[in-house]
Chain A
């Protein structure tokens, strides 16, 4: 089973600033890595797939990078609606499909 590890657990950022979230896989997942956003009381929403491809309707301030075992989600200028929990997920080696434990982006 591929273990996904996200850091930091919590990221405190001021509106308008950049946020950088990390995700590490226990073995290579090539580029089969997705990022999801989850707001309180809501279902997760797909942001990024194949490590760097934004899903339909996702603003350009969200970008993904990386391959192999190290990945990054960058939010270039945080808006109020971006404060949420972000999860990475690998879909290279399954079952199981595995998620990281999440990074909470909170208002500084």
Chain B
């Protein structure tokens, strides 16, 4: 059974950094691109970044470009999101999701990031 588990969320001050992890199981991780998406409290879904399988272009949403870095370690079936220069507007539940030719399926349960002084 395909399973994604995010970790690493927490409370952080503006301007600081945080690193999120996504642990994958139940499928051949290296074969799939992976997304990060987020959802601010009471708001809708926003795509954040994608890392393809086997090379290819990494893409970021304009709102995080230059501050966030997505990476993966296929030997550990894991994906990461390094978030620097965090802003209050980055407060959200962060989800990882497997890319299925542009669809997001499945999603992890999410990890909450709160940026507050």
Contact = CB atoms under 8 A, between A and B. Distances in A.
Interface residues of A, number: 24
B106 A99 contact: no
A99 B62 CA distance: 15
Nearest to B95: A43
Interface stretch (B8-16, B77-85, B96-104): B96-104
B103 A46 contact: yes
Nearest to A90: B102
Contact of A45 (B44, B47, B61, B106): B106
A81 B46 CA distance: 25
Interface residues of B, number: 22
Nearest to B61: A96
Contacts, number: 63
Given A32-B102, A94-B102, A43 B109 contact: yes
A107 interface: no
Interface in A76-108: 87, 89, 91-92, 94-102
Interface of A: 32, 34, 36, 38, 42-46, 49, 55, 87, 89, 91-92, 94-102
Interface of B: 35, 44-47, 50, 59-62, 95, 100-110
14 contacts: A43-B95, A44-B95, A46-B106, A49-B100, A91-B103, A92-B102, A95-B50, A95-B60, A96-B47, A96-B59, A97-B104, A98-B47, A99-B46, A101-B44
